[in-house]
Amino acid sequence: MMKVHICKDTEAMGKAAAALFIACVEEKPNAVLGLATGSTPIPTYSEMAKAYQTGVIDFSKVTTFNLDEYVGLAPTHEQSYRYFMETNLFKHINIPTESTHVLSGLAADPEAECGNYEAMIDAAGGIDLQILGLGNNGHIAFNEPADAFAATTHTVTLTESTIEANKRFFESADEVPRKAYTMGIGSIMKAKKIVLLANGAAKADAVAAMVEGPVTPQCPASILQFHPNVVVLVDEAAAAKLTK
Ligand code: GLP
């Protein structure tokens, strides 16, 4: 079931999402958290860091798995998702580095990297709470619109729309990696609870397609309609095209 909440602004969205993470870890100190990159979750991570710094939450027993990573970027590359996580969350909280998992952009054997990643998630007991952003084209993680839903962690070729959207972080569109590793739709759907965040007018079409459109791999996020426990947090602008 999908519950949609319209929040006042991105700050309120961040507070609401962080509250879900805090509740999850309070209930289960060794929770497995699924994490995302992109600009959308940054306020959530700031709130989580604040909660740690004020003694509200302890991350020492938590395990994390990130959704995706660019192929070819080293963990020290400023646009790698490992670097993003270190900067925006991990270095501000007390999670041991060995408990944080991000696919390696430099893996020598992509198939083994993806297979091991999927197995590690399963061995950890599965993801308790997964945070998701939303691509302008309806992608989740790096699962791009396609003819079929991908089950497990795999390599993808990024679409022009995603390269365009993400080039703002690179010197030019040419610098954006063309491939990425991503958890599959099946991996994401196995999470016990999901919180998806979207803000801004550029996401309004994707939000409407995800919530009210048909379930189709052409809008990968639409599959979330079939998940038993999804919270969608949006601002007014992203909610503008919802009709119900
Ligand atoms: C990227 C990421 C997604 C993210 C999306 C939206 O391509 N792989 O996980 O949700 O784009 O990014 P943003 O939050 O910056 O709009």
Q: What is the model's pLDDT at position 37?
A: 97
Q: Which of 37, 80, 154, 195 to mutate to test the pocket of ligand 1 (most atoms within 8 A of CB)?
A: 37
Q: Going by CA atoms, what residue is nearest to atom 13 of ligand 1?
A: 38
How many whole angstroms from 37 Cα to the centroid of ligand 1?
A: 6
Lowest mean pLDDT among 24-28, 31-35, 161-165, 184-188: 161-165
pTM of the model: 0.97
Computed over every residue of the chain, the mean pLDDT equals: 97
pLDDT at 181: 98
71, 166, 188, best to mutate for ligand 1 pocket (most atoms within 8 Å of CB): 166
The minimum-distance atom of ligand 1 relative to the CA of 68 is 8
Q: Pairing between strand 129-132 and 154-157? A: unpaired
> What mean pLDDT is predicted for residues 106-124?
98
Q: Alpha helix locations (H) across the chain?
A: 10-27, 42-53, 81-88, 110-123, 160-166, 185-189, 204-212, 236-239
Over residues 177-231, the pLDDT tens digits come to 999 999 999 999 999 999 999 999 999 999 999 999 999 999 999 999 999 999 9
Instruction: List, chain by chain if needed, residues with CB within 6 Å of any ligand 1 atom.
Output: 36-40, 67-68, 133-135, 141-142, 162, 166
Q: For the chain, give the percent of residues with pLDDT over 70.
A: 100
Nearest CA to 68 out of 172, 206, 207, 162 is that of 162
Does residue 128 carry a pLDDT above 90?
yes
Nearest CA to 37 among 154, 181, 175, 147? 181
Backbone dihedral angles phi then psi of residue 103, each to the nearest 5 degrees = -55, 145
pLDDT score for 132? 98
Q: What is the pLDDT at residue 244?
A: 82
What angle do helix axes 81-88 and 42-53 make, rounded to 10 degrees?
40
Q: Is 20 helix (H, G, I), strand (E, B) or coil?
A: helix
**CATH number 3.40.50.1360 given to 7-192:** yes
Return d(Cα 128, Cα 133) in angstroms, integer: 17
Instruction: Give pLDDT, residue 67.
Output: 98
What residues act catalytically?
Answer: 68, 137, 139, 144
Q: How far is CA 95 from CA 21, 171, 175, 186, 209, in A?
A: 14, 32, 32, 27, 36
- pLDDT at position 178: 97
Per domain, the residue ranges of the chain are 7-192
| 41 CA from centroid of ligand 1 (Å) | 9
Percent of the chain with pLDDT over 90: 98
- pLDDT of 125 above 90: yes
Instruction: State how far the alpha carbon of 39 is from the alpha carbons of 1, 61, 90, 147, in Å.
Output: 26, 26, 16, 28
193-198 and 2-7 strand pairing: unpaired
Residue 1, pLDDT above cutoff 90: no
For residue 223, give the amino acid letter: I
Nearest alpha carbon to residue 85 among 115, 56, 65, 55: 65
Overall average pLDDT of the 74-88 stretch: 97
